[in-house]
Amino acid sequence: SKTPGKYSRVMLKISGEALMGDQGYGLHPPTVARIAQEVKSVHDMGVEICMVIGGGNIFRGLQGSAQGMERATADYMGMLATVMNALAMQAAMEALRIHTRVISAIRMDEVCEPYIRRRAIRHLEKKRVCIFAAGTGNPYFTTDTAATLRANEMNCEAIFKGTKVDGVYDKDPQKFADAQRYDNVTYDEVLQKHLGVMDASAIALARDNDLPIIVFSLDEPGGFRGILAGSGTYTRVHG
């Protein structure tokens, strides 16, 4: 696996909630623009960038099924929410003159491209940021699993999971002052200790393909670029 500063193609996974700023719902355009700027600063280094954005700021399948909706239907709504977020991010990236493609696992040809693996790879080679939308296209999955799947398919060297905190802790650092951050942690420890990195199917998929997960703070200005340049605090999840 790679040492920091040596990455040429990465997956950035962010939750939908990262786009809502201090609001309780939806999209906060200045926050979307700020994240786009963080991505641009990495793109400017020549790194090829894939992105997966969740949909939790708009709709989650579990929320719908708790209200009596069939789970699969609710999950499709969740997947559609991720397309809205992807389009918002594309607009913010293009305002910074970064070419992007939104590539959906569910066809909607008037809005974005369908997912064709070799075509997506070609976009990356041409330095277009690829935003993979609609998750895996299947209900009962999450966008963490989608990010891991696409990262494998695109031969990314790592998944960068941007969160509110600068890594993986033994307990919630926003609740416990004595929480300890891990510099390194194994996939198996994450699963056994139920450390909230990604859901279990995403962790297992990363483990089975030796794909490292770098958990870092998206709130830290310049943080994403810093890690790629070899500095900053983060947790590396690996085998």
Does 100 bind ligand UDP (CB under 6 A)? Our answer is no
* CA 97 – CA 105 distance, rounded (Å): 25
Give 141 or 160: the residue with its C-beta nearer to ligand UDP: 141
Site for ligand UDP in 151-210 (CB under 6 A): none
d(CA 14, CA 82): 11
The 10 Å CB-count burial string (b at 16+, else e) for 62-75 is eebbeeeeeeeebb
CA dist., res. 97 & res. 77, Å (int)? 30
The response to whether 73 counts as a known ligand-binding position is: no
> How far apart, in whole angstroms, are the C-alpha atoms of residue 33 and residue 47?
19
E strands along the chain, which residues? 9-14, 48-53, 100-104, 113-114, 129-133, 158-163, 168-169, 181-182, 184-186, 213-217, 235-238
Nearest CA-CA partner of 147 in 91, 76, 214: 214
Residue choice 54, 167, 223, 226 for contact with ligand UDP (CB under 6 A): 54
Minimum CB separation of residue 3 from ligand UDP in Å reads 28
CB of 222 vs ligand UDP, minimal distance in Å: 23
Is 3 annotated in a binding site? The answer is no
163 annotated as a binding-site residue: yes
Of the residues 50, 56, 106, 124, which one makes contact with ligand UDP according to CB under 6 A:
56
Q: Considering the complex, what minimum distance in angstroms separates the CB of residue 162 from ligand UDP?
A: 11
Cβ proximity to ligand UDP, 53 vs 226, nearer residue: 53
Q: Is 169 labelled a binding residue?
A: yes
Q: CB of 3 within 8 A of CB of 157?
A: no
Return the residues of window 129-158 that contact ligand UDP according to CB under 6 A: 135-136, 138-139, 141-146
Q: Is residue 226 close enough to count as binding ligand UDP by CB under 6 A?
A: no
Task: Round to whole Å and give the CA distance between 211 and 158.
Answer: 6
16 lines the binding site for ligand UDP (CB under 6 A): yes
Instruction: Candidates 79, 102, 151, 228: give the one binding ligand UDP (CB under 6 A).
Output: 79
* Residue 11 interacting with ligand UDP (CB under 6 A): no
Find where tokens 């708790």 sit.
Answer: 66
CA angle in degrees (0–180, nearest 5) for 85-90-92? 95
Determine if 61 is a binding residue for ligand UDP (CB under 6 A).
yes
The Cβ of residue 189 has, within 10 Å, a number of other Cβ atoms equal to: 13
Q: Would you tell me which residues interact with ligand UDP (CB under 6 A)? A: 15-17, 54-56, 60-62, 75, 78-79, 81-82, 135-136, 138-139, 141-146
Q: Which parts are annotated binding residues for UMP?
A: 55, 75, 136-143
